[in-house]
Structure 1
């Protein structure tokens, strides 16, 4: 599926054939103008009927495939597409060279599919807009960052409802009340992910800028935004890669890279489980 052409290709597992739908109308896209600078950052399935494409600098496209499920002749029932803008102010053009291309939008925002519906979490910074919050607004903040979660209201014309907000001071208070053995770097939390089971809990990554110069370890933490408490914390360091080989080294390298981390322990079990056993 490509927003520029609005074409969709669906694979029918029953027949083993591809169905092609061309020139599909995207409802809510302002005649296609909302998709002018579209770039897909992620694609996720939702429920039994939706596929969602995300552009974290603009919005998301929901493909409703219920017509495919209700009819044996899918060619007569093309899927329905709807554009849903993300609940942030769009600032500038994400392709403008002045802003250094697109950067890494996942570092500050994420659309997550949970048992409680579609959630959107964002970490808005006072120091840069990240094409999310207007400069004039963030300059009035008394804090450097703010964490916000929202829920997609499917039965209210696909609007967003604000759920929870945590400011910088509340975030550090929650971490300071945790186990004194934890020494967290005082850095802005990155790569937020809403917990699939508990939508009040968000997973973050914490790291200092000097990590690659042998500084403090990188942390994966879980914070309850409603109760304002730290749930869990796990430290990772470059030293953990010493002696590892194959997939185990690749997994740990992904965790400590500056890009999208691997938050789960499951891949380490797939590599034989030795690393997990040492950590228990």
Structure 2
């Protein structure tokens, strides 16, 4: 059986869905170059819950347009990729065996952290998806644990993706008067993350809020960083390889990683 390398993808602005950019082209190319998976499991920054773990279990989840004040054409997009209820039940059992409560949700649709990158990678929308919630209230170590429970799936041709952002300070992006050294602060953080990933320094990554330079500036809230922790756990502690580097609006690092 084919094994899949888990991926972390920075999904950026929703405009990526309709704009020709360095990162949109990268995602299109990525989908053409990796072995087609039989299913995809996604941890998205935009599926953050405050209770237990929620797993999508619908057969035909809707496309969720969970963003505001964007051009009308974005709200017309549909990504009709099917769900995979049997895989969802299998994943739920893995969590339950670890004494973690789960809820199977047949109504939850694909948020834009799922459908925007996957629409670029797999425009035919014919690969089944299961989405697993993150929990910003529990922090890096527990979200890493979520990923660890799924490490075996990659050996069954299931692609595990974390969809978030290496940096994500939208308030700073839209400030009229920017922080003077903001770009440098973003770069210090992103290169710290790269160093820890490629050197497999998991302990430092799990304590990034205390150890990384300008962690609070780059992630005022954790939701865009925690999918990286989940996919790191799912990798089985294997070495990361940086497969893409880009920056949007000067401050949003859109780097992507593959895990051997």
For normalisation by structure 1, the TM-score amounts to 0.26
Question: Which structure's CA Rg is the greater one?
Answer: 1
1 or 2, which has the higher helix percentage?
A: 2
Q: Larger relative CO (CA 8 A, sep 6+): 1 or 2?
A: 2
